Amino acid sequence: MAPRSEKLRLGVFFHPTGHHTAAWRHPDAQADAGINFQHYKAITQTAERAKFDMVFLADNLSVREGAMDALCRSAVYIANIEPMVMISALAAVTTHIGLVSTASTSFHEPYHLARKFASLDHLSNGRAGWNIVTSSQDAEARNFGRDSHFGHKERYDRAAEFTRVVLGLWDSWDDDAFLRDKTSGLFFDPDKLHTLDHRGEHFSVKGPLNVPRSPQGRPVLIQAGISDDARAFASEVADVVFTNHLNLEMAKPYYDQVKARAADIGRRPDDIKVMPGLIPLVGRTSEEAEEKFQALNELIDPVVAREFLSLLLKTNLVNVPFDEPLPELELPPKASWQFYNWVDLARRENLTVRQLAMRAAVGRVNTIRGSARDIADYIQFWFEEGACDGFNIMPPYLPGAFDDFVELVVPELQRRGLFRMDYEGSTLRENLGLRRPQSRYSTKELTT
């Protein structure tokens, strides 16, 4: 392994009670976490004390659909506080950590989101990030006047135009447009105001935005997904890419391709950070971690596990034999990278449907367990093999599993010189090692 000069990046993705399917049943879990601000305040402040780059909150614009016998036993995407509201509140009780929220390009208007995220960037003094998603569930579409979701290509076409509009609106004002000169009576310089006047296939937006240019120039843009459309979109606009690769063999080519595509369109490879998801369960010894893992898995309801696997494969598995190998499946109409990931895993390890379902229930991304040294070794290997720029940590249950990671793994990464001892800057961009983007109307050269 070759040491890297830059530091490892760490984000943390907070599902309310954790990413393990049975997390809400853990004896120490905050069962009402989805509506409990004090819970989010505590775990976010823990992440900041550990010098994490950012916290990330996902979103779903509907109650998750599924078989009711499984749904009523699950806490995932059922009923939670809207994430933009939550991270706005968290901005008031933190000072350095980045605050990232998901927001859909399919069911919002560009002006709304441009205004909200620019406002959050001001409120947080430059710590806002937008996780750009297109949404995927028909249940969401039905809450917004549609019988079904947009097709895959249309979703990404809309997302690309939506994002271009938002970027344009964020450049409505030059950095020094607001004079606020009481003596002259001039509040802003009219020559430094720019009207977008966008007219496209999906959106018509006049502008300008009624929020000044934000402290970071623009909030950090984050994108998740590994389809070809998602990959191209990420290479073009994303500052950070979240991925769900299950092994190094899949992660490394993806990492190289995203960096190469970014370079092909004139971006520096370092201008985009790739951060796979990682669900770590740490113990003071490997044996303790294994005991925690088994105790957590005992809380999984097999009905819930099968439902999650059905969602991942977009295939109803109710009538499939539970204790036999996964049969040949018909490719679903909306097959995603997750379909191929999980089918490949079942074939490689000759897993039964039950075994695969339990894996899915444990976590839809890379799940590891062990001592602090074991987990630090794993993180260091991926990082130094050039498969990532860091990780998006996804605690299996909260707050305990995240407390263990902060107490045991972070100091080990720091001892190895892989992770910061303190924040380098005051904004999310500065801490991620990203340049502040210039306005499209600027004539100055962008410097490192």
**What sign results for the dihedral spanned by CA atoms 400, 402, 405, 411?**
negative
Interatomic CA distance for residues 11 and 276, integer angstroms: 10
- Report which of residues 116 and 146 the model is more confident about: 116
What pLDDT, on the 0 to 100 scale, is given for residue 228?
A: 73
**Helix, strand, coil share (%) of the chain residues, nearest 5:** 40, 15, 45
Q: Which of 253-262, 273-282, 424-433 has the lowest mean pLDDT?
A: 253-262
How many Cα atoms sit within 13 Å of 444 on the Cβ side? 9
Looking at per-residue pLDDT, the higher value among 442 and 241 belongs to 241
- What percentage of the chain exceeds 70 in pLDDT? 96
Question: Which amino acid, one-letter code, is at 185?
Answer: G
pLDDT in tens, 164-192: 999 999 999 999 999 999 999 999 999 99
Q: Does some domain include residue 442?
A: no
CATH at 64: 3.20.20.30
DSSP 244: -
Domain count for the chain: 1
Nearest to 238 by CA among 262, 217, 216, 213: 262
Question: Within 10 A of 57 (CB to CB), how many other CB atoms are there?
Answer: 24
Peptide bond into 399 cis (omega under 30): yes
Is the per-residue pLDDT at 230 higher than 80? no
The answer to whether residue 57 sits within a structural domain is yes
User: Regarding beta strands 273-283 and 390-393, do their DSSP bridges make them parallel or antiparallel, or are they unpaired?
Assistant: parallel
Structure confidence at residue 395 (pLDDT): 96
Give the pLDDT score at 29.
92
For residue 62, the enclosing domain spans 9-286+366-432
Is a pLDDT exceeding 60 seen at residue 393? yes
Task: Tell me which of 105-114, 206-215, 248-257, 328-337 is least confident.
Answer: 328-337
Residue 441 lies in a domain: no
316 vs 295: CA distance, rounded Å: 28
Whether the Cβ atoms of residue 428 and residue 49 lie closer than 8 Å to each other: no
pLDDT at residue 314, rounded to an integer: 82
pLDDT (mean) for 406-421: 98
What pLDDT shows up at residue 336? 67
Number of Cβ atoms within 10 Å of the Cβ of 172? 23
Residue 270 lies in a domain: yes
Asked if residue 47 belongs to a domain, the reply is: yes
Q: Which among 434, 379, 417 is positioned nearest to 220, based on CA atoms?
A: 434
- Measure the CA–CA gap between 403 and 47, rounded to whole angstroms: 9
CB 136 within 8 A of CB 105: no
Is residue 63 one of the residues assigned to a domain? yes
- Report pLDDT for 448: 47
Average pLDDT in the 249-266 region? Answer: 91
Residue type, 353: V
Three-class SS of residue 200? coil
Residue 132 pLDDT more than 90? yes
Q: Is 350 inside a domain boundary? A: no
Model pLDDT for residues 108-124, shown as the tens digit of each residue: 999 999 999 999 999 99
Tokens of 349: 């390890």
pTM of the model: 0.91
Spatial distance between the Cα atoms of 235 and 174, rounded to a whole number of angstroms:
26
As a whole number of angstroms, the distance between CA 312 and CA 336 comes to 8
Please tell me the predicted confidence (pLDDT) of residue 64.
82
Give pLDDT tens digits for 215-228: 999 999 999 876 67
State the chain's mean pLDDT as an integer: 91
Percent of the chain residues topping a pLDDT of 90: 67
Q: Please give the average per-residue pLDDT across 321-349, as a whole number.
A: 81
CB 398 within 8 A of CB 17: yes
Q: β-pairing, 220-224 with 128-133? A: parallel
Residue 92's pLDDT is what?
98
Structural domain includes residue 357: no
